[in-house]
Amino acid sequence: MTKPVPPLIGYARDAADDPDLRLQMAELVRFGVRPADIFVDEAGREPISKRPAFEAMSRKLSPGSVLVIWRLDRLGRDLSELVQNAEKIHETGAHLSLITENIDSRTEAGWQAFEVVVFLARLERNLTRERARIISLAHGAQGKPVGRPSDLTDEKRAEIVSLLLSGLNFVQISKRVGLSKSTLYNHKAALLAEAAILAAGNDAKGALDGEG
């Protein structure tokens, strides 16, 4: 008796950084997904798991079915959300096939690749918690209120940390980002701590890539 072919279900998501939603649709159809079985979400602010098409797609998943996605990041706007949604899919007994990454969880190699993604997500969460703890301690040691400095925007903070990691000093960074040296030195300990945490995370990810 011929074993039934598991149904293919497609999911596509629009986003600001997406080249073209039609590209996703075309790739899903080329993979073998019927147009009627493709669920499409428009760009939005709410979590992906709460979007109409994603919810409708999730209800259609069943043990043995295969969810096909053009690229891994269509499942989440960050690594934690991505892994959370992927794990929900596997809890239904369905498989996950990623076209761009050439990963299919129906194979042992595909499942191992997915486990690496899960590991990196957990690493990122742990580093984020540790970074927040060190920043809090650094601010406390300086007699400052615990929390993110009010005179540094998220964009400025990220730029400063990136420049620190590139080897620039605070005098050079001050000229680059348009903030006074005194502002940077007021938050020196917290910024250096954040840079150190990110550097440690990059080293850990690099070591993992090297083992692969």
Q: Side chain identity at 199, as an amino acid letter? A: A
Q: How far is CA 27 from CA 70, 90, 99, 149, 193, in A?
A: 7, 22, 8, 45, 43
How does pLDDT run across 115-130, given as a tens digit for each residue? 776 666 666 666 666 6
Question: Which part of the chain is CATH 1.10.10?
Answer: 123-211
Out of 20-24, 29-33, 50-54, 165-169, give the one with best mean pLDDT.
29-33
Given strand 66-69, what is the order of strands in its sheet?
Answer: 38-41, 8-13, 66-69, 95-98, 103-104
Alpha-carbon gap, residue 24 to 38, rounded angstroms: 10
Residue with tokens 């090297």: 210
| b/e sequence 162-179, b meaning 16+ C-beta within 10 Å | ebbeeeeebeebbeebeb
Q: State the average pLDDT over residues 146-163.
A: 70
CB neighbourhood size of 155 (10 A): 9
Judged against a pLDDT cut of 80, whether residue 179 lies above it is answered with yes
How does pLDDT run across 75-116, given as a tens digit for each residue? 877 767 777 787 788 788 898 898 987 888 888 887 777 677
Q: Which CATH class is domain 8-106?
A: alpha beta
Judged against a pLDDT cut of 50, whether residue 197 lies above it is answered with yes
Whole-prediction pTM value?
0.55
How does pLDDT run across 19-48, given as a tens digit for each residue? 578 889 999 999 999 999 999 988 777 778
- Mean pLDDT rounded to a whole number for the chain: 77
> Can you read off the two tokens belonging to residue 91?
């809890």
CB neighbourhood size of 130 (10 A): 15
CA proximity to 55, closest of 43, 39, 78:
39
Alpha-carbon gap, residue 160 to 39, rounded angstroms: 41
One CATH from 1.10.3470, 1.10.600, 1.10.10, 1.10.150 for 123-211: 1.10.10
Can you say whether residue 8 is alpha, beta or left, with left for phi > 0 and alpha for psi between -120 and 50 degrees? beta
> Can you read off the two tokens belonging to residue 193?
């701590």
Residue 199 forms beta bridges with which residues? Answer: none
Judged against a pLDDT cut of 80, whether residue 50 lies above it is answered with yes
